Chains A and B, each alone.
Chain A
Amino acid sequence: RKEVEQDPGPFNVPEGATVAFNCTYSNSASQSFFWYRQDCRKEPKLLMSVYSSGNEDGRFTAQLNRASQYISLLIRDSKLSDSATYLCVVNIGGYGGSQGNLIFGKGTKLSVKP
């Protein structure tokens, strides 16, 4: 079983659309959760951490369901600049811990069209 699984995509949406990405993880010992964004042939960049209570950052909302081992990302009012690959990432270390062994999903590609 893959450690972090994501919708394969690609998601092709018009500007202004709302799009949701899902992710499941296999290791129940996972303690911290993130969404990263990766542009073509670039490095991953942190989009947001994901907390149990759910959290929002502008147009982006992340949810975590520990019981189902499920993470989601919602993007509202999508922009052309949101076009990228979105990586679901988990870590068995806590948010303030020392372990940086991040487990990445393969990513979901988003293409926002005019």
Chain B
Amino acid sequence: EPEVTQTPSHQVTQMGQEVILRCVPISNHLYFYWYRQILGQKVEFLVSFYNNEISEKSEIFDDQFSVERPDGSNFTLKIRSTKLEDSAMYFCASKSVSGANVLTFGAGSRLTVL
């Protein structure tokens, strides 16, 4: 079964450092997403990306965040200057153009900011 792959599985960083989380969506999918889940909290939408541009973003996705699709396979989330409250599980997801509005999530990248 096709899957969304995320790296790293866990990253520990110091406050103020830049972090890049990487995702390889399912190959024939064209919509890409980042969600996050703070420990014990709900899953929250960050951003959606289609046709090489952001299509939607939440109020969480401020100027510290950016996304990029640097090549035909990777989709990255960058946090420029991490804060303690950025500690969370970050899930990448992708969706095909056709079919039901169903997202496939990756296993997540756990970010710990110290």
Contact = CB atoms under 8 A, between A and B. Distances in A.
A96 B99 contact: yes
A102 B100 contact: no
B107 to A, nearest CB: 5
A56 B91 CA distance: 28
A78 B40 CA distance: 25
Contacts of B42: 87, 104-107
Interface of B, helix, strand, loop or mixed by DSSP: strand
A28 interface: no
A96 B98 CA distance: 7
Given A42-B107, A101-B56, A87 B43 contact: yes
Interface of B: 31, 33, 35, 41-45, 48, 50, 55-56, 58, 89, 91, 93, 95, 97-103, 105-108, 110
